[in-house]
Amino acid sequence: MHGPDGIGKGKEKGDAGLRVHGGRIDLAASLYPSAPTPWIDLSTGINPVPWPVRPIPLARYQRLPLAREIAEMTEAAAACYGLPGNAVMLPVPGSEMAIRLLPRMIGLGHVGILAPTYGSHAQAWRDAGAEVRELTALPDPDRDDCKTLIVVNPNNPDGRMIARADLVAFALPWTATGRRLVIDEAFADLRPESSMLALPELPEGTTVLRSLGKFFGLAGLRVGFVAATEPDATAWRQLLGDWPVSGPACEIATAALRDINWIAATRARLASDRRRLDHLLGKAGLRLLGGTDLFRLFEAAGDTDLLDHFARAGILVRGFAGASRQYRFGLPADEAAWQRFETACARLK
């Protein structure tokens, strides 16, 4: 039975989709039609104050991106992220698609995934027919029989960080027998010194994924990067072709990656906003489990359904199918959103 305002529908059966991926504002709005608008989306780890996109010349929509333009964007990415001397940087139409292509690039066989983490990795390998093992720590390189290991670093949703020195020490014996290591650094912009791409040399057989969607707040652009050693880099280049991203996306990504002043100011702002979020949710009785400066994972004290609580206030947070008391919170975009969020937090007590 559904409540008269349709909210019951969301509670009873429809909100499972809100526990699989963030960003489903349209689903939330249909489940909670009486919620105040505009919806405040805290369900993603996307920077809500994006790099300021300027209007794009219409010609960029019309003609194919030039080889020179793709090269300039790739060089801007290498300058921003770093690039080990033995690695090649390649643009992809969103790091999500790179995640889905990985099983077809690397080939099947058992895959280990440091868990819990962003669900698309396991989904992509299962869809391709691989056997997925969820691991809680780096495996013993002498004993584990996985062919590929996937590490999201820093991790989503709990912010777990494996120190780069530990990853390198692991990677050398792991990849020496032909096994592959994939490091998803979608949230590494916040701590560039921790990135594998800041190394002078990438362990052979290691693939690093980067995203323009999170830190730069440009998820709609669908631009990411893969850094890989040969021969993997050549295989990626063949698969992705000469025009892996749209012309407007190429122009915007190049300018954003070069904007070192915006990047520095944004790191500082996100750190400050993150402290404000921690303070509010701590006051409301939630326990911080971890996170990065773009999102925080909290545990509720009791059994209150916080996804439902915040959705009734027009605020979408991220729940998890397998951990009903855990919630991930992104950052409000502006003072009006902070005020609505603060009011909803105060109602928790």
**Contact residues for a second copy (CB under 8 A)?**
21, 23-27, 41, 44, 46, 50, 53, 55-56, 58-68, 93-94, 96-97, 99-101, 104, 120, 124, 127-128, 213, 217-222, 238-249, 252
CB of 20 to a second copy, least distance (A): 10
CB of 111 to a second copy, least distance (A): 16
The rounded distance, in Å, linking the Cα atoms of 254 and 290 is 32
Using the minimum distance from each CB to a second copy, give the nearer residue, 221 or 286: 221
Using the minimum distance from each CB to a second copy, give the nearer residue, 168 or 235: 235
Alpha-carbon torsion 255, 93, 331, 82, what sign?
negative
Residues with Cβ within 8 Å of 127's Cβ and at least 6 positions away in sequence, in order, are: 100, 103
Using the minimum distance from each CB to a second copy, give the nearer residue, 47 or 229: 47
Beta-carbon count within 10 A of 29 CB: 16
CB of 305 to a second copy, least distance (A): 23
Using the minimum distance from each CB to a second copy, give the nearer residue, 55 or 302: 55
Using the minimum distance from each CB to a second copy, give the nearer residue, 167 or 219: 219
Nearest alpha carbon to residue 44 among 306, 345, 347, 333: 333
Q: How far is CA 6 from the centre of its chain?
A: 32
CB of 166 to a second copy, least distance (A): 31
Nearest alpha carbon to residue 59 among 249, 255, 248: 248
Using the minimum distance from each CB to a second copy, give the nearer residue, 127 or 140: 127
Give the C-alpha distances (Å, rounded to integers) separating 68 from 93, 111, 138, 140, 243: 18, 37, 40, 44, 11
Nearest alpha carbon to residue 22 among 47, 42, 51, 8: 42
The rounded distance, in Å, linking the Cα atoms of 28 and 312 is 10
Using the minimum distance from each CB to a second copy, give the nearer residue, 30 or 177: 30
The rounded distance, in Å, linking the Cα atoms of 168 and 172 is 6
CB of 67 to a second copy, least distance (A): 6
CB of 127 to a second copy, least distance (A): 4
Q: What is the DSSP letter of 31?
A: H
CB of 238 to a second copy, least distance (A): 4
